[in-house]
């Protein structure tokens, strides 16, 4: 049996991981491929996916620190006699919501690099100092420079609620990044990472030679852990944990290649030995939930969003699609690809149980405004389902709809549609991690929602009516034979017709058979 090593929780320093015998998933083969086949790269991945560690690996590789790479894929294929000067910039440690903060941050980073290189700059501008530093290092080492930029987009993302500052930061970065193209002859390799991909027109207009590998199948696993990594590198951590449950909770992120796990989740799981929403809890997606509600997207539909290359790969300050926002931030991933006349179309969905459960819980908290009450309602929901207490279920949801503040309705027209009411049911079940299917297809139509729980099947149909219940929801389930699809399972099937009143904004009919 393999010996346990230290878990590199929160460690983004390659040297520390290697020197102190931490677990390390070898990404150096992909680093070699990048160095051999190209020059200027861009990679988009969600937060806490190992981007910073990969950049640090590149830094140590190009600086020629051979002892750190012994036993790794790159070791016998790299010329260790050549050391390249490396310039590494990172925007991860600051907040860029104030005017002038970005320029000051870059000036400070440049000063530290200038001091290390023994350079007294003549230029006063940040781009000018960057150019001088590249030329100085090239002359000093007699080798071209490697430029690494971590979280390149953070100065813009931080300021999204301050559009004027966001635009100023974008324009400032455009000039700074343009230096990489202008001084291409003096650069061995450049690599930029971030969460979002701003279009080349808005940010990279001067840097159109970047090779975007975000959706390149060859680099799909450049960040994150694969199933094989879990079963080999971390084999000593697996005893006592359900392997299928690990996969259900944390696997599923896909960038057109093999699926991967978020490293942050896996390391904390092996440390704590319990399944929790580790990655999700590190960044509450308030902005994202507000966008879901603002754009009137029913939460069941989040599992069925579609996109194309252009939509997935473009982020703009003033106009970004929900699909782009959720995909690039890691709350949705690619589930299926369809190619039509050389155009790729993507079906998006939740990557795993962690995101599915946690995001829907956040939506509920946004609606209720009383987190404590919402927690109690979730606990009650599970108990009522376990006992098939349908009167209790009706009262629970009636209470929930009554608790939504009146002004929320007056500012939104989504409550006129079945999708809004279905969203509430769906998000409650999903926030418990239950097995829910929406728009479940049969030969006679689509079932609004199917829940599988406790070896039973619950088929829901939702209708919006006037004040008086009409009984049409349950009749539609029966008339269209929605239960037929599940009879072969030999499970108890419950048909649930739910009717909502436009006027009272609550349940007026709840029939079960």
What CATH number is attached to the domain comprising 166?
A: 3.40.50
Contact 432, 382 (CB under 8 A): yes
User: CATH no. for residue 504?
Assistant: 3.40.1350
| Rounded alpha-carbon distances, angstroms, from residue 168 to 98, 101, 156, 164, 452 | 11, 11, 9, 6, 51
Tokens 């389930």 sit on residue? 477
- Residue 26 is given by DSSP the state -
**What was the pLDDT predicted at 417?**
53
Whether residue 110 lies inside any domain: the answer is yes
Whether residue 94 lies inside any domain: the answer is yes
Domain closes at, from 217, 237, 255: 217
Whether residue 13 lies inside any domain: the answer is no
pLDDT digits (tens, 9 = 90+) for 125-183: 999 999 999 999 999 999 999 999 999 989 988 888 898 999 999 889 988 988 998 99
Q: Indicate the helix (H) or strand (E) that contains 191.
A: strand 187-194
pLDDT digits (tens, 9 = 90+) for 452-496: 999 999 999 988 887 677 778 889 889 999 999 899 999 999 999
Domain closes at, from 202, 217, 232: 217
Tokens 């079963």 sit on residue? 231
Full residue range of the structural domain in which residue 41 is found: 26-217
Encoded tokens for 171: 């324009």
Domain closes at, from 174, 196, 217: 217
Tokens 């840097």 sit on residue? 207
Long-range contacts of 164-173 (CB under 8 A, 24+ apart): 165/96, 165/97, 165/98, 165/99, 166/317, 167/317, 168/99, 168/102, 169/96, 169/102, 170/198, 170/202, 170/203, 170/317, 172/102, 172/103, 172/126, 173/102, 173/203
Other beta carbons less than 10 A from residue 284's beta carbon: 12
**What was the pLDDT predicted at 293?**
77
Whether residue 288 lies inside any domain: the answer is no
**What was the pLDDT predicted at 435?**
92
pLDDT digits (tens, 9 = 90+) for 284-319: 677 788 888 777 777 888 887 888 777 676 677 666
Whether residue 60 lies inside any domain: the answer is yes
30: closest CA among 48, 55, 11? 55
In three-state secondary structure terms, 20 is coil
Whether residue 355 lies inside any domain: the answer is no
Q: Which residues of the chain have pLDDT under 70?
A: 1, 198-208, 284, 311, 313-314, 317-319, 368-371, 405-419, 441-445, 467
pTM for the model stands at 0.90
What is the separation of C-alpha 250 from the centre of its chain, rounded to a whole number of angstroms?
Answer: 12
Query: Rounded CA gap, 158 and 166, in Å?
Result: 8
Query: Rounded CA gap, 127 and 121, in Å?
Result: 11
Burial class (CB in 10 A: 0-12, 13-18, 19+), 262: buried
Into how many domains does the chain fold? 2
Whether residue 362 lies inside any domain: the answer is no
Whether residue 294 lies inside any domain: the answer is no
Tokens 């308030």 sit on residue? 286
> What's phi and psi for 478, nearest 5 deg?
-70, -45
331: closest CA among 378, 293, 284? 284
**What was the pLDDT predicted at 123?**
95
In three-state secondary structure terms, 386 is helix
């Amino acid at each position: 049996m393999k010996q346990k090593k230290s878990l590199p929780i929160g460690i983004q320093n390659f040297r520390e991981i290697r020197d102190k015998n931490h677990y390390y998933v070898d990404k150096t083969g992909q680093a070699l491929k990048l160095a051999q086949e190209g020059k200027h790269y861009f990679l988009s991945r969600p937060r806490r996916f190992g981007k910073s560690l990969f950049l640090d690996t590149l830094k140590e590789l190009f600086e020629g620190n051979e002892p750190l790479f012994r036993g790794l894929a790159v070791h016998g294929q790299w010329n260790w006699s050549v050391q390249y000067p490396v310039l590494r910039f990172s925007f991860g440690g600051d907040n860029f919501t104030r005017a002038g903060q970005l320029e000051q941050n870059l000036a400070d980073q440049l000063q530290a690099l200038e001091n290390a290189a023994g350079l007294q700059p003549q230029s006063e501008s940040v781009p000018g100092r960057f150019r001088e530093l590249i030329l100085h290092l090239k002359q000093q080492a007699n080798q071209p420079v490697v430029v690494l930029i971590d979280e390149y987009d953070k100065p813009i993302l931080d300021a999204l609620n301050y559009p004027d500052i966001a635009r100023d930061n974008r324009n400032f970065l455009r000039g700074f990044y343009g230096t990489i193209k202008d001084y291409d002859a003096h650069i061995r390799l450049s690599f930029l990472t971030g969460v979002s991909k701003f279009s080349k027109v808005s940010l990279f207009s001067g840097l159109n030679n970047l090779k975007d590998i975000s959706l390149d199948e060859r680099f799909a696993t450049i960040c994150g852990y694969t199933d094989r990594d879990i079963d080999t590198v971390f084999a000593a951590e697996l005893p006592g944990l359900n392997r299928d449950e690990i996969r259900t909770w944390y696997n599923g992120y896909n960038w057109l290649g093999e699926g991967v796990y978020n490293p942050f989740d896996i390391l904390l799981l092996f440390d704590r030995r319990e399944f929790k929403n580790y990655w999700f809890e590190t960044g509450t997606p308030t902005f994202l939930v507000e966008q879901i509600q603002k754009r009137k997207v029913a939460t069941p539909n989040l599992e069925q969003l579609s996109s194309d290359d252009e939509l997935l790969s473009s982020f703009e300050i003033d106009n970004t699609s929900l699909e782009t926002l959720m995909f690039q931030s890691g709350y949705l991933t690619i589930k299926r690809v369809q190619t039509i006349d050389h155009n790729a179309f993507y079906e998006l969905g939740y990557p795993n149980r962690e995101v599915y459960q946690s995001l829907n819980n956040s939506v509920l908290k946004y609606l209720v405004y009383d987190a404590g009450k919402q927690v109690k309602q979730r606990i009650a929901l599970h108990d009522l389902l376990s006992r098939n207490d349908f009167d209790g279920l009706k009262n629970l949801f009636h209470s929930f709809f009554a608790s939504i503040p009146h002004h929320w309705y007056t500012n939104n027209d989504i409550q006129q549609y079945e999708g809004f009411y279905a969203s509430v049911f769906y998000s409650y079940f999903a926030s418990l991690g239950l097995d829910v299917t929406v728009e479940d297809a049969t030969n006679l139509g689509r079932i609004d929602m199917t829940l599988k729980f406790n070896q039973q099947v619950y088929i829901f149909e939702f209708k919006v009516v006037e004040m008086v219940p009409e009984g049409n929801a349950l009749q539609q389930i029966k008339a269209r034979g929605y239960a037929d699809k599940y009879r072969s399972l030999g499970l108890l099937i419950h048909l649930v017709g739910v009717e909502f009143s436009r006027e009272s904004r609550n349940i007026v009919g709840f029939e079960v058979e």
